[in-house]
A = this chain, B = another copy of it.
Amino acid sequence: MKDLTIDNITENVHFINAQCSDRRLKFILERLVSHAHDLVRETRLSTEEWMEAIQFLTQVGQTCTETRQEFILLSDILGISLLVDAIDHPKPPGASEGTVLGPFHTHEAQNIEHGGGIASDPEGEPLLVLCTVRDSAGKALENVTIDVWETDSKGFYDVQYANHDGPDGRAILTSDKDGIFWFKAIVPVPYPIPSDGPVGKLLAKLGRHCYRPSHMHFMFNHPIYDPLITALYLKNDPYETSDAVFGVKNTLVVELGRVEDEAIASKYGVKVGSALMTYDFVLVTKEEALNLRYKNAAAAMKAQGKKMDYLNGLPVPEVD
């Protein structure tokens, strides 16, 4: 542990970290240190650059507040959030796909009844959202908890306002016995992710725009089913193919309809001609997701030539 050089330091850091009794943490740290050191070696990172990176990370941390998570934003714009979700919540064919949570989910949303309104903004275009949630065999799922959230018509979430004093543009619903849930909202608009912080400045340096295409967030929870964090994106949005946080998937792009029928308009308490978003979500069971996660992990480890044990479905190197 003396005379550490460019070439031997990595093994030495592994050696001292190998005392860790948590096998999973030890494995993650071993991979983290290897990749961090390789990054430095491959780029021949200079002290000045590293100090700039340290300052950047410090600013990211210090930009975080109770209602703003700049590290999640950083993770989002580097595609890490999407990747982690894809690994952690694998979907078999037919199941609804997941996408990035984003930094604006909160725990302030109130439960509302079907048909309730989630958005107070009078300038937003009224939208009726009419969805179902089913299992992969097509069975309606009752009592699924659904968090929904969106920005106002200016592209800001409630918590982004300095004078924010309660939830707006968000609510929690529970699916009924037919797997239906419905609510009134406003037509989503494209918006910039917060660009006044260090992550926004990084995007500018990279020559990237900071826009997300119009979307509505949905999060599904149920004791038996794997949590689904997803969003629906509006077709033909100008940012449909260049989302700053890599969230768009073809199966999550929807074309808004119109409430054409007087009876329907009356049933749901909206005007004829109102914008309409419909979607049939399909959840997989926790067991099915766990099995698929394990199967994918085992295949990936095999492809890397690694023999692994699994703790709670997560790989750790075999003990010698």
Task: Known A37-B80, A44-B314, A79-B37; judge A86-B207 contact (CB<8 A).
Answer: no
A248 B2 Cβ-Cβ under 8 A = yes
How many residues of chain A get a CB closer than 8 Å to chain B's CBs? 84
Indicate which residue in B4, B47, B62, B208 contacts A79 across the interface (CB closer than 8 Å): B4
Task: Known A22-B205, A61-B57; judge A31-B39 contact (CB<8 A).
Answer: yes
User: Which B residues are in CB contact (< 8 Å) with A41?
Assistant: 83, 87, 300
Q: How far is the CA of A243 from the CA of B74 in the complex (A)?
A: 32
Q: How far is the CA of A2 from the CA of B296 in the complex (A)?
A: 22
Nearest-neighbor residue (CB-CB) of A7 within chain B: B86
Is A46 an interface position by the 8 A CB rule?
A: yes
Choose, from A13-21, A132-140, A276-284, the stretch at the interface: A13-21
User: Which B residues are in CB contact (< 8 Å) with A37?
Assistant: 79-80, 83
Indicate which residue in B9, B16, B250, B304 contacts A3 across the interface (CB closer than 8 Å): B250
Q: How far is the CA of A90 from the CA of B92 in the complex (A)?
A: 52
The contact sample of 21 A-B pairs, CB cut-off 8 A, is A1-B246, A2-B240, A4-B79, A4-B246, A9-B246, A13-B246, A16-B242, A20-B207, A37-B80, A40-B87, A41-B83, A42-B300, A45-B87, A47-B88, A50-B75, A50-B80, A57-B57, A58-B64, A58-B69, A59-B61, A61-B62
Q: Which residues from chain A sit less than 8 Å from chain B, CB to CB?
A: 1-6, 9-10, 12-13, 16-17, 19-22, 25-29, 31-33, 35-50, 54, 57-62, 64, 69, 71-72, 75, 78-89, 205-208, 240-243, 246, 248-250, 253, 293, 296-297, 300, 304, 314-315
With A43-B314, A45-B88 already in contact, 8 other A-B pairs whose C-beta atoms are closer than 8 Å: A1-B242, A4-B86, A6-B86, A10-B79, A36-B80, A44-B293, A54-B71, A57-B61
